[in-house]
Chains A and B, each alone.
Chain A
Amino acid sequence: MTVSVIQFGGSNCDRDAVRALRDVGIDAERTWHEDGLPADPSGIVLPGGFSYGDYLRAGAMAGRAPVLEGVRDAASAGVPVLGICNGAQVGCEAGLTPGAFTTNASARFQCERVHLRVENSQTPWTRSFEEGDVIELPIAHGEGRFEITDDELATLDSENRVLFRYCDADGNVTRAANPNGSTDAVAGVLGERDHVAVVMPHPERATLAELGGTDGRAILRGFAE
């Protein structure tokens, strides 16, 4: 049973994701998107990068690539799917998760460490945490500002589908702690079922203490049984 990390032209976090997953004890391999999904993947990662050069909108092309049909079917069948950064943009463009990620309020590419508050700990991705826990992950994106219609946001809230919000070190959701101007400080959301999630920050870049943090390990362990 292997997690499939889907590589598009322009993906650049696919190798990192495979290494990080293996490091937390989860078998993983890269899948070139044109080859289609392998039979029975145990999970799917849509990795970070700049698929299709961010043409049209970040994630727009990959979100409509044929392999996404397979991803959608797998997600429906219960296979866990995690979109990270560009993968989050792809996931939203593909309709796996609601909302959209667009240009940071700063109009700049931002590469820094951020604090996140765990908003729902009843998911495969966050079961090691308690609701309200504050974790630290890196971000590296130019189009990470979460936008969503008011109605859809109300639905997300009522269904407890916000996974993480940007916050300060003490867990307070403040304007200053919101790095990109995301609506309601949303940093990660769940699809219609909690085994499908997209997150703008990079859990796979927070798996080794030597590199400044290990809070991403538990999130990746969401692919374990």
Chain B
Amino acid sequence: MTAYTAVVTVRLKRGVLDPEAETTAHALSRLGFELDELRAADRFELDLDAASEDAAAERADAMAERLLANPTIHDYTVTVEPR
């Protein structure tokens, strides 16, 4: 078994309205920053032990499917690094 950190990044699908991100972008503009758009995402760092990098990624993927992301509104990515 090897120790890994799997990172699951969950974001709204393109085209799904994100009022919080819009409000945050607006606040940055008000502070004088120039920007075209802001996209927010949730990042989950999962420390786990697995037989291989693929096995770690598979487990993190299942966690995203079951709970961390909602497939109706979210896309997600999984990356794995040794810990």
Contact = CB atoms under 8 A, between A and B. Distances in A.
A93 B69 CA distance: 10
Contacts of B68: 56
A100 B17 contact: no
Contacts, number: 36
Interface residues of A, number: 21
A106 interface: yes
Main SS of chain A's interface residues?
loop
A2 B72 CA distance: 34
A104 interface: yes
A92 B67 CA distance: 13
Interface of A: 56-57, 60, 64, 92-93, 98-100, 102-107, 145, 147-149, 152, 181
B70 A107 contact: no
B18 interface: yes
* Interface size bracket, B side: 10 to 19
B20 interface: yes
B22 interface: yes
Given A56-B68, A100-B70, A100-B73, A147 B16 contact: yes
Given A56-B67, A64-B67, A103 B18 contact: yes
Contacts of A105: 17, 19
Nearest to B70: A100
B17 A181 contact: yes
